[in-house]
Amino acid sequence: MLALAATWGCAEETDSPATPWAVRPFPPIVEPLDNPTTASKVELGRLLFHDPLLSTDRQVACVTCHGQIWGFSDGLPRSIGVGGMGPAGTGRTGPTQTRRNSSTLWNAAIREGLFWDGRATTLEDQVVFPMADPTELGRSPDEVAADIAGIDAYVALFADAFPDEPPSPTAGQLVRAIAAFERTLVTDRAPYDRYVAGDERALSEAALRGMGVFAELGCPDCHAPPAFESARYAPAASDLSAPDDRGRAEVTGDEADERMFRVPTLRNLRATAPYLHDGSIASLEEVVRREAELRARSLSTDELTDLVEFLNKGLVDRAREPQRAVEVPSGLPVPQDGYRIPR
């Protein structure tokens, strides 16, 4: 037990069987001074998140590529934006494929860099990128705000969400509302969290063994608890990724960042397959094998099974998953969510 504490780099050690290492506090959710979270703003952001009014073809919404059952990803190797066909999820097809796998929005509020290349540093910045991308949504916030200004139901919602600002909806308000909604997508109540808080029965014996394998492999060096991610950028783990994708270097211009991608969170990992920045690995088992090989370590069948048990079940938490909107003020149909058989 004490070896785990040292491996995970925690501040202190404990002999308690329920807490084999000291627990770092979960990172705080920091709200911008100009965008404090309110219930009315979050609700407005939730509706906008589901509204295809944000896209050029009036069929794609944020939720198309960041759906609830997909762990706020979409189940595709790379997302299909405007002009796509079929419901959100694995059955969606079309010519407008994005460059990279859709990142989960769970715990996006605590990230110092957003997207695989870290090009956005706040949720407010992040909202703008897919809107401007012609393959994703393809509309500017100004264009959407102009349409919203003609929808009475939205005008009332904006006035309620921003009572101290001019009554006509603006692009800045639209961006802040969606960011406020995304800021509520927090997962910190998984079986792992309950276990380290003292509930000895929260994790199965297999998951506990898997947690030991996780530590022994050095996985927390990058996927650091309690968020199980970090602000680090690592070399592309796929041999199949596009050779013209320079990763972090596209943002920094630094050759040292060539083909480097942000370390993703492992929370709610079970729902976000396929994996890696290019979605090139379909199964969690294969990702684990690949990572072990990169560390010059082979895993036994039992070790692999236990580690996957820990990742698949120990880090799953959908307690604060928001409800998918059934209808939106624009009157446009909310994108349908494709169904998949649970793994």
Active-site residues, by number, are 136
CA 156 → CA 8, 118, 144, 245, distances in Å?
50, 35, 16, 43
Distance CA 153, CA 325 (A): 15
Distance CA 131, CA 136 (A): 7
Distance CA 103, CA 333 (A): 24
On whether the CB atoms of residues 75 and 89 are closer than 8 A, the answer is yes
Q: Taking each helix axis from N to C terminus, what angle separates 123-132 and 171-182, rounded to the nearest 10 degrees? A: 120
Residue partners of 63: CB distance under 8 A and separation at least 6: 49, 50, 88, 324, 325, 334, 335, 337
**DSSP assigned state of 219:** G
Distance CA 267, CA 288 (A): 15
Report which of 208, 191, 184, 217 is spatially closest to residue 295, judged by C-alpha positions.
217
Report which of 229, 210, 197 is spatially closest to residue 307, judged by C-alpha positions.
210
Other C-beta atoms closer than 10 Å to the C-beta of 163 total: 10
Q: What angle do CA 155, 161, 71 make, to 5 degrees?
A: 105
What does the block give as tokens for 142?
């100004």
Greatest alpha-carbon span in the chain:
63
What does the block give as tokens for 254?
């630094």
3-state secondary structure at position 192: helix
Distance CA 54, CA 139 (A): 6
